[in-house]
Structure 1
Amino acid sequence: MELDRRLLLSHCAVHFLSFAAGLLVVVPMALNGSALKGRCALFSTGYWRTEDQPELTEQPREFSHLVVQQWGPLAACQFVTFVGIFTVLYGAAQGWRCLFYLHGGHDDTLFSSFLTVLLSVCVLFLSGGASVILFLGFSTWCDTVTDSHRRPYSCAESQSVPVYLDVNTSSFYTEFSLAQVSLWCVTALWLAQSILAFLRLYHSHRRHLSGPWLHRDKEMLLGHSLTDSTSPLPSLPSSTPTLFV
């Protein structure tokens, strides 16, 4: 198997893995947004309040409920979701394109390879930033629901604790954890895509330099040199004086 075919096959596998990892980012984030009625839990702040709840048959008893002071910015959740959606669409399109190239036996042009490297590096930084945003925002929400870890349960257990909000928080930890792990995988896959795209660009550049046009130019130059070396020398004018009768 040639080097460019191995690179193309590896790049194709990474694209399909990116497609799967992107889906594991988009689906949990969409489910969480639906459960929270369009709100974003990332970077949300609040506190626990203890109140007396009167009942008809029993004495009033104390109960705690979560008070959300401010929900997180929607841009945080939308940015994370955008990176996942772009990864899904790009992975599907480029994966199909790689399969087409493998079947046809050809590769990208030099300019197209350069654009692929540039795009992969840009999205690598975007996905890395989205991963950091999701990590920090999720940590802030965990501090809120566990009262800065002063509650008698962990963040994973808090999704089964009633918080008495008008939204469903029964699976937020599972959704955010899955999206976070998947987004870090997406970032690693974009790094792999950047490296493979650079290797394909380098290989395409070498192939461009050693293409058939270079051999034709060499043959033309060699042929021109041989023609010059075998051409007869110009005759010099005779120095013998001419006798007139």
Structure 2
Amino acid sequence: MELDRRLLLAHCAAHALSMAAGLLVVVPMALNGSAFKGRCALFSTGYWRTEERAELSGLPGQEDRLVVQQWGPPAACQFATFVGIFTVLYGAAQGWRCLFYLHGRHDDTLFSSFLTVLLSVCVLFLSGGSSVILSLGLSSWCDIVTDNNARPYSCIESQSVALNLDVDTSSFYTDLSLAQASLWCVTALWLVQSTLAFLRLYHSHSQHISGRCLLREKEMLLGYSTSDSGSPSPPHPPATLNFLI
């Protein structure tokens, strides 16, 4: 199996995995956005407050209530969703191209390979940045719901605790942690795709250089054979010399 065919097969596999990982980012983020009524929990600010239960339900006693002062910026959640959607669409398009090249037994041009490397590196940095943002945002939300670990439950256990908010918090940790893990997988796959795209660019460049060298050697050989076949015959003795002899 030739080198370019192995690279194409590896690139097809990377695109297929990135599509699956991208879907595992988009779907949980969409479910979390629906449960939170379009609000973003990442980087939200809030505190716990103790209120009289009589004020809330007419029963005596006190009850702790989570108060969200300000919800997080929507761009923090939308950024991760955008990276997931782009990864799915790009993986589908490039996977189809790889299969087409495998069937046609040819690869991208040198310029197209360079653009693929450039785009892969750019999206690698975008996905890495969105992964960091999602991880830090989820950590900040967990600090709020656990009151900086002062509550007797962890962040994942707080899903089953009544936070007394006007949103559904029964699966926020499951959705956001799944999206977080999938987004880091997307980042790792973009690193793999960038490496494979660079190797394909290097292979295309090597093929281009070797092709030009072979063409130059062929032209030199053809020029040499033409000069040999068209070389003039040795000169005849002058007519005056023949006359004297």
TM-score, normalised relative to structure 1: 0.91
Q: Report Cα offsets for 1:211-230 as digits up to 9, x if no partner.
A: 2x543432222222344456
CA distance in 1, matches of 2:57, 2:147: 31
The equivalent residue for 1:223 is: 222
Change (3 A) 1:9 1:148: same
Partners of 2:71 and 2:126 lie apart in 1 by 23
Q: Secondary structure of 2:168's partner?
A: coil
2:97 aligned with 1:97, yes or no? Answer: yes
Helix, strand or coil for the counterpart of 1:49? strand
Q: CA deviation at 1:163?
A: 0.7
Per the alignment, do residues 20 and 227 of structure 1 end up closer, same or farther by CA in structure 2, a change over 3 Å counting? same
Deviation at 1:207, TM superposition (A): 1.1
1:17-36 equivalence runs, <5 A: 17-36=17-36
State how far apart, in whole Å, the 1-side matches of 2:85 and 2:210 are.
39
Do residues 71 (structure 1) and 74 (structure 2) align?
Answer: no
Q: Report the CA distance between 1:234 and its aligned residue.
A: 9.2
Provide the C-alpha distance between the structure 1 equivalents of 2:224 and 2:57, rounded to a whole number of angstroms: 112
The equivalent residue for 2:205 is 205
Note the C-alpha offset of 1:56: 11
Counterpart residue identity of residue 13, structure 1: A
Shift of 1:97: 1.3
Q: How does 1:48-59 map to 2 (within 5 A)?
A: 48-54=48-54
Across the aligned residues of Structure 1 and Structure 2, the Cα RMSD in angstroms comes to: 2.3
Matches within 5 A, 1:59-138: 60-138=60-138
Give the letter aligned to residue 217 of structure 1: R
Distance in 2 of aligned mates of 1:117 and 1:63: 57
Structure-2 change in CA distance of 1:57 and 1:85 (3 Å): closer
Could you report, residue by residue, the CA deviation over 1:59-78 in whole angstroms, capped at 9, with x for unpaired residues? 61100110001100001001
Distance 1:59 1:31, change over 3 A: closer
Counterpart CA distance in 2 for 1:34 and 1:101 is 40
- Counterpart Cα distance in 1 of 2:111 and 2:143: 49
Change (3 A) 1:93 1:56: closer
Q: Mapping of 1:189-200 within 5 angstroms?
A: 189-200=189-200
Q: What CA distance in whole angstroms lies between the structure 2 residues aligned with 1:16 and 1:94?
A: 9
Give the CA deviation at 1:57. 11
More helix by share: 2
**Structure 2: runs of 5+ lacking an equivalent:** 241-245
Change (3 A) 1:58 1:227: closer
Q: Report the equivalent of 2:152.
A: 152
Task: Report the Cα distance in structure 2 between the residues aligned to 1:108 and 1:64, rounded to whole angstroms.
Answer: 62
Higher alpha-carbon deviation: 34-43 or 104-113? 104-113
AA paired with 2:216?
Answer: D
Change beyond 3 A, Cα 1:108–1:71 = same
- Give the Å deviation of 1:54: 1.6
- How many residue pairs align between the two structures? 239
Identity %: 75
How many Å apart are 1:104 and its aligned residue? 1.6
Q: TM-score, normalised by structure 2?
A: 0.91
**Paired residues for 1:161-176 under 5 Å:** 161-176=161-176
